[in-house]
Amino acid sequence: MMRRVLFLWLAAVMGAIVFIIPPAEGLGNVVKIAFFHIPLAWVSVLGFLLSAYWGIQYLRTGEMYYDLKSSTAAKLGLFFCIFATLSGMVFAKLTWGAYWNWDPRQITIFILLLIYGSYITLRSAIPNIITRARTSAVYGLFAFFTVPFLMFIIPRFYFSLHPEPIINRLGRLDMDSIMAYGLLLTLVTSTALFRQILCYLLKKEYRKYPANMADRIGKDGMKL
């Protein structure tokens, strides 16, 4: 039932982006790519943050359930990160004429891709379940500590082609209100989609773990 509702909601949002949101001044219809790119980028960062949070929970409690959640969130985050990068590249090509030019935001998303990739490579190289859980949780934490440095330092050092963050430094919204509401809607939709896919993956992945986690996973796929 939930899945059907989500599917209809997703279809409605995509329809709204294509047909209802007006073209922007200057950028035209190309701006609609941003309505896909921004939620995908948001969700990939969300996956990363959740992975780091559940990694801390695993180190704190030692429960394998948190390792399962942490690794699943990371894998899903990587998946969305790849699409965010691709959509950003298409937008860059249409707007600035080149797919990739090491713009600061491109550097940061590339580094996020690297971190995800290294995390998953690390996990696949360690056979022992507990060592794997601890090591990847610690690596996730180290990666998390680099995030403030990436997010705040790099863009300030390098000239950026990227549009200013929507809520810019003066705290004002630099967008049409209809666009702003549209963007907010896509952010909520992508978060809901992320949660749904995460629950589904948790139900599939838990069988790889020796401990019986069926009761923790539950009917939904996730008990928070």
Partner 1 sequence: MPVNILSLANAVWILFKKDLLCEFRTGYAIGTLLMFALLILSSISMTFSGISLSAELTANLLWMIIFFCSMAGLGRAFLEEQETGTLFTLSIYFRPQAIVLGKMLYNIALLIGLTCLIVPLFMIFLHVDFQLWRELFAVLLLGDIGIGAVSTLMAAMLGGAQGKHSLFTVLTLPIILPQFLSAIHATMTILSGNVPTIQEIAYMLGYDSIMILAGYMLYSFICCE
Partner 2 sequence: MDLSMSVELVNLGKKYNHKGLFQGINAVIKAGQCLGITGSNGSGKTTLLKLIAGIEQPSEGYVYMKGNRGDLRREERVGSIGMVSPQIAFYDAMTGIENIMFFCSCSLRRCSIKDAQEGCMRVGLDGYSDDLVSTYSTGMKQRLKLAIMLVFQPTLWLLDEPSSNLDAVGKKIVGNSIKSALQDGATVIVATNECWELGYASEHIILGECSVDSI
Residues found near partner 1 in the complex (CB under 8 A):
59, 107, 111, 114-115, 117-118, 121-122, 125-128, 130-132, 134-135, 137-139, 141-143, 145-146, 149-150, 153-154, 157
Shortest distance, position 94 Cβ to partner 1, whole Å: 28
Measured from the CB atom, the residue of 82 and 90 that comes closer to partner 1 is 82
Measured from the CB atom, the residue of 34 and 64 that comes closer to partner 2 is 64
Shortest distance, position 126 Cβ to partner 1, whole Å: 5
Measured from the CB atom, the residue of 124 and 177 that comes closer to partner 2 is 124
Q: What is the DSSP string of the chain?
A: -HHHHHHHHHHHHHHIIIIISPPBTTTBGGGGGHHHHHHHHHHHHHHHHHHHHHHHHHHHH--HHHHHHHHHHHHHHHHHHHHHHHHHHHHHHHHHS-S----HHHHHHHHHHHHHHHHHHHHHH--SHHHHHHHHHHHHHHHHHHHHHHHHHHHHHS---SPPPSB-TTS-B-S-HHHHHHHHHHHHHHHHHHHHHHHHHHHHHGGGSSS--HHHHTTTS---
CB 100 within 8 A of CB 131: no
CB 104 within 8 A of CB 161: no
Measured from the CB atom, the residue of 30 and 122 that comes closer to partner 2 is 122
List the x/- string, 177-216, binding to partner 2 by CB under 8 A. ---------------------------------x------
Between residue 72 and residue 91, which ones bind partner 2 under the rule CB under 8 A? none
Instruction: Choose from partner 1, partner 2, none: what does 146 bind? Cβ within 5-8 Å by kind.
Output: partner 1
Instruction: Choose from partner 1, partner 2, none: what does 145 bind? Cβ within 5-8 Å by kind.
Output: partner 1
Measured from the CB atom, the residue of 107 and 213 that comes closer to partner 1 is 107
Between residue 122 and residue 141, which ones bind partner 2 under the rule CB under 8 A? 128-129
Instruction: Choose from partner 1, partner 2, none: what does 59 bind? Cβ within 5-8 Å by kind.
Output: partner 1
b/e map of 24-48 (b: 16 or more CB within 10 Å)?
Answer: eeeeeeebbbbbbbbbbbbbbbbbb
Shortest distance, position 166 Cβ to partner 1, whole Å: 24
The residue ranges that bind partner 2 (CB under 8 A) are 128-129, 210
